[in-house]
Amino acid sequence: MAVVVVIAVILLAMVGHSSGTWCVCREGLSEAMLQKTLDYACGAGADCGPIHQKGPCFNPNTVKSHCSYAVNSFFQKKGQSQGTCDFAGTATVSASDPTPSLMEALTTSRVVPLQVTCRKLSSSLSADFSCLEFKRYPCTSGRVSIMNHPNLLLRPVSASLQPQELSALGHEGNVAPSKEILELWRDVEAVCFDVDSTVCVDEGIDELAEFCGAGKAVAEWTARAMGGSVPFEEALAARLSLFKPSLSKVEEYLAKRPPRLSPGIEELVKKLRANKIDVYLISGGFRQMINPVASILGIPRENIFANNILFGNSGEFVGFDENEPTSRSGGKAKAVQQIRKGRLYKTMAMIGDGATDLEARKPGGADLFICYAGVQLREAVAAQADWLIFKFEPLINSLDSVPLYDD
C-alpha cells in the first residue's frame, strides 16, 4: 500500500493572480519545533533565499516563514481557503479545514527528498526568482505576520512513497509485519491502547493547557516525556504546575472541546469487540478527559488505566493521584502486567506512539508492541516496534480472516 506524502515545495510567481490571506505559524513556538515541522513538510528544509524579497520568504529568511508557505501550498492544492495553522506538536490545522488528518500526515511523515527542476516562468518576472533548493538552511530568528501577495501562486508537488522506499527511512523491517507478528496479532485476547496521539489525534494535556493559556510550555514538556528524555512523573508534575487547572476549567474544556478520534479507531475497536477481544485504554492522561472517549467507543470504565486530577473542596487544583501506576515511568508496563495477571490473558498487544507505550512490551506484559504513527512519528520508538502503522486499516484488515462472533 502506498503512503502518499504531499510535498509543498515549488513556488510559482504569476502576474495578476488574485490576492489571498496567508496563514502563518502561531507566535511563541520554538525554533526547534518549527524546524521539525518544516523538515517533515519539505523533506530536507527548503531554502527560499533566492525568492524575491516581497515574496513569502522575504529576508531575513526564517523557519516560520518557510512553514507558512509550505502549509499554504497544501491549502491551495486542496482548493481550500487559508486559515490559522496550529504547529504545536502535531501541526494540526484549524477546525475550518475539513481534512485535518491530511495536514497531520503531511507534517508527521518522513519524506524522501525530490529533485526539483528549475522552470522559466516569464520574461516579465524579476530575475531574482528561482526554484527552491532541497537543502538544510540555517535560518535566523524572526517574526512573520499575515501577508497579502497578489502576484504569487503556490503549487505543490506530490509524491507516492512506496513501501520499498521506506528503506530510506530506516523502517522497512517493521512496516510490513512478519508472519509471526501477524499470528501474534490475530491471537491476541486483549489490546491496550494509548489515548493521546493514538486513539485521539490530540495530546490531551497539551490541549487542556492551551485552553488554559499555557500551551507552548506544556507541549515542549510533553515532547520530552513521549520521547523518553525525562522521567514521566517529572514531566507530568511540571506540566500540571504550569497551569494548575481548576475543576470548573476542566468542565468548561470538556463542554467546548469534544474528543477528536483518530480515523479508523471506532471501526477497529468494534471489530476487536466483535471478535471477543477485550479492549483497554492505558494513558498518562487524565480520567476526566478519557471517560468521554471510552463512552464513545463502548469501553467500560473499569478498563481505563489513567491519571486523576485532584481538586479541593472549592474545585481548586491540588495535584494528581500519585498512586495511579500511569503517573510514573514504567507505569503503563505495570498496568499491562496487572491486567494480564488479573485476567490471565495468554496474548496481549499494546498500541501507541510513545516511549511509555513501548515499555509495556516486556515479560508478563504485552507480547506485541504496535507503533501508531498516524499523528506523531517518534523515530526512536518506531525503530523498536514489532509493527509500524500509519493507519488502523492494516490492523482491521488482518482480522478479516478471523471468524467473527455475535455479541
Q: Just list the catalytic residues.
A: 194, 196
> How many other CB atoms are found less than 10 A from the CB of residue 125?
15
DSSP 194: -
Q: Are 3 and 109 in contact (CB under 8 A)?
A: yes
How buried is residue 402: exposed, middle or buried, by Cβ count under 10 Å (0-12/13-18/19+)? middle
Q: How far apart are CA 367 and CA 350, in angstroms?
A: 8
DSSP 79: T
Query: Long-range CB contacts (< 8 A, 24+ apart) of 50-53?
Result: 50/128, 50/129, 50/130, 50/133, 51/11, 51/128, 51/129, 51/130, 51/132, 52/13, 52/126, 52/128, 52/129, 53/128
Pairing of strands 278-286, 304-307: parallel
Q: How far apart are CA 44 and CA 61, in angstroms?
A: 16
The single residue listed with the C-alpha cell 462472533 is: 405
Phi and psi, residue 182, nearest 5°: -60, -40
How buried is residue 186: exposed, middle or buried, by Cβ count under 10 Å (0-12/13-18/19+)? middle
Q: Are 190 and 280 in contact (CB under 8 A)?
A: yes
Measured in whole angstroms, how far is the alpha carbon of residue 198 from the centre of its chain? 8
Q: Cis peptide before 60, with omega less than 30 degrees from 0?
A: yes
The grid coordinates of residue 87 equal: 504547529
The grid coordinates of residue 20 equal: 489571498
Q: How far apart are CA 177 and CA 104, in angstroms?
A: 24
Cβ contacts of residue 139 below 8 Å, gap of 6+?
Answer: 31, 35, 61, 62, 63, 66
Length of the chain: 407
